[in-house]
Structure 1
Amino acid sequence: MDALITPLLNGSAQGALLLLAALGLSLTFGQMGVINMAHGEFLMIGAFSAYLVQQVITASNLSIPVALPVAFVVAGLFGLLLEITIIQWMYRRPLDTLLVTVGVSLILQQAALQIFPSQGVPVEKPDWLDGQVDVLGYEWPLRQVFTIVLAAACVAALAAWLKYTSFGRRIRATVQNRDLAETSGISTRTIDRLTFFAGSGLAGVAGVAASLIGGTNSQMGAQYIIPAFLVVAAGGIGQLKGTIIAAWAVGVALAYFAYWTTGSFAQVLAFILVIVFLQVRPQGLFTVRTRSLV
């Protein structure tokens, strides 16, 4: 029973963390076609934001709830700055965005090394996350449960924002037909900037969750960026429900592979599994339905 329950629960938490990292990519990559390799560094910015908040608010029970919106805003502003200074000149040129954002990623990593210790800084988890929940004999850490709840809340908020707000409808209109959206009076430049802000901010929220599980360091974003891209691609470009299913499947697969082998080899096996799936179904789990015949 332990061999079944333990990897399932741990993998669900790992999948929730991947989902938090991939949600922002589902906007910037899935909705806008921008390959942002610095997205992982926005996650790192969120983690370091949580640490800085704890330097101001020493009570960890209060600092983490405060750190979540702070990390969202700080990472979102970094993303907005990237869009205004670089990305806006490279829409519809995905390979150029890939190359440029790799350079931005390296710059942000070096900046973090200059500001913070190379071994990272600790983020103290609050007392209400210091415990376990008994699930069929397995003591499930509360911080993993918190990651799942946080991911579910972010998914619900993002889905409601895209579906029920006028801004969400403008995003969908811009994605489906940018030229027609502009003729309808929609400021697509404003949409692009705010979408990039929201996507980068979600990465910051993921960074807070990651800091509670694995601490912080300048390289932490690198371990999430490739799996997050694979999750978005496997779920279907721009498809929120596909991203959710793919993130959970990859997280559980990683946990089961790690239970049977080593952590690094588990990542290799999970990546191979996703790549094989994309060879069989390159469009991902779900595709956008259009009236186009091509």
Structure 2
Amino acid sequence: MFSDYTATELGSIFAMQGFAGLILFAVFLLMALGLAIIFGQMGVINMAHGEFMILGAYMTYLTSNLFAEYLPGLFDAYFFVAIVVAFLASAALGAFVEWAMIRRLYHRPLDTLLATWGLSLLMQQSYRSIFGAREVGVRIPDWMAGSFPVTDIVELPINGLIVMIIAISVTFGVYLLMFKSSWGRRVRAVVQNRPMAGAVGINTVKVDRMTFALGCGIAGIAGSAFTMIGSTGPSAGQQYIVDTFLVVVFGGAASLLGTVASAFSISQAQSTMEFFLGGSMAKVLTLMTVVIILMVRPQGLFTLKVRK
């Protein structure tokens, strides 16, 4: 596999795939953050998480078109507005879904899996009816085009760098929210001991709804970032849902550090192996490796101690 390349060529290949893996890491991280919050606290298996990501992507697409048509002078700033719109739209829909469906299915994980899978199919068909079956793309602002030369061979795309900055910023924001705010303390109290949290006056119903909305909103931000590196279609979210669950389980549910470490490990492994072995084989080997590690450490890379 490596014998056909010189040492210099291998170094360049690993560097290029490493940077490509960082962009994939950013998308995995944003997707997994939202899913880890939902699954870690509520135990809900949200199979429609990818569709919430695509909702954020479509909101970015609409915002791009609106700015191009009505505010062309401010087009270079549309992406920052689109991130906010994507978050609010996905979070609002997430809050509605929790109120209308999810709250009736707590402590029934298989039922939530089937219900959210049906929701994902419904959302995909809605996207086809509204936006059409063909994939759409957004026009990148001029300042996000091009790349930074790292070496004579390796270049870092500016839009990929922006996606990584977004992922790091959102991760830091989630850390502050979960560990440095009163709302985060309420969330962690519910995770550790729901009956006791309710007994001391914490509105667990409101915490659940806001948590589900936050997780879906972060998925919307992931969709907004996704438009910078790929085109958007009704079923594009399904390409990432399996990898996202893999990241969450491998890192350890409810562990922020585990989510970051898992997303980085899986994205780098897939990106490097795809170059030498192809996409399908890379996914198979990555999955086999994760399964073997989980057989030895079923709780994942990191765990959260809770009171029983």
Q: Could you say which TM-score interval applies, normalised by the shorter chain?
A: over 0.9
Amino acid at match of 1:110: Q
Q: 2:115 aligns with which of 100, 122, 130?
A: 100
RMSD: 1.1
Instruction: Measure the CA separation in 2 of the matches of 1:277 and 1:14.
Output: 22
Percent pairwise identity: 41
Q: 1:125 aligns with which of 122, 132, 140?
A: 140
Q: Deviation per CA, 1:86-134, whole angstroms, max 9, x where unpaired?
A: 1001111111100000000000001111111212221111112101112
Offset at 1:26?
0.9
Q: 2:214 aligns with which of 185, 190, 198?
A: 198
Amino acid at match of 2:150: V
Residue of structure 1 equivalent to 2:6: none
Q: Deviation per CA, 1:162-188, whole angstroms, max 9, x where unpaired?
A: 111111110000111010000100000
Amino acid at match of 1:45: L
Instruction: Measure the CA separation in 2 of the matches of 1:96 and 1:201.
Output: 23
Superposed counterparts of 1:78-227, under 5 Å: 78-137=93-152, 138-227=154-243
Any unmatched runs of 5+ in structure 2?
Answer: 1-10
Instruction: Measure the CA separation in 2 of the matches of 1:50 and 1:111.
Output: 17
Shift >4 Å, 4+ stretches? none
Offset at 1:42?
0.1
Offset at 1:291?
5.5
Taking structure 1 as the reference length, what is the TM-score of the superposition?
0.97
SS in 2 for 1:48: helix
Residue of structure 1 equivalent to 2:14: 4
* Kept after mapping to 1: 8 A contact 2:191/2:306: no
Offset at 1:265?
2.4
Instruction: Measure the CA separation in 2 of the matches of 1:80 and 1:182.
Output: 20
Instruction: Measure the CA separation in 1 of the matches of 2:129 and 2:306.
Output: 48
Offset at 1:145?
0.9
Q: 1:64 aligns with which of 79, 103, 106?
A: 79
Any unmatched runs of 5+ in structure 1?
Answer: none
Taking structure 2 as the reference length, what is the TM-score of the superposition?
0.92
Which is greater in Rg? 2
1:249 aligns with 2:265: yes
Residue of structure 2 equivalent to 1:240: 256
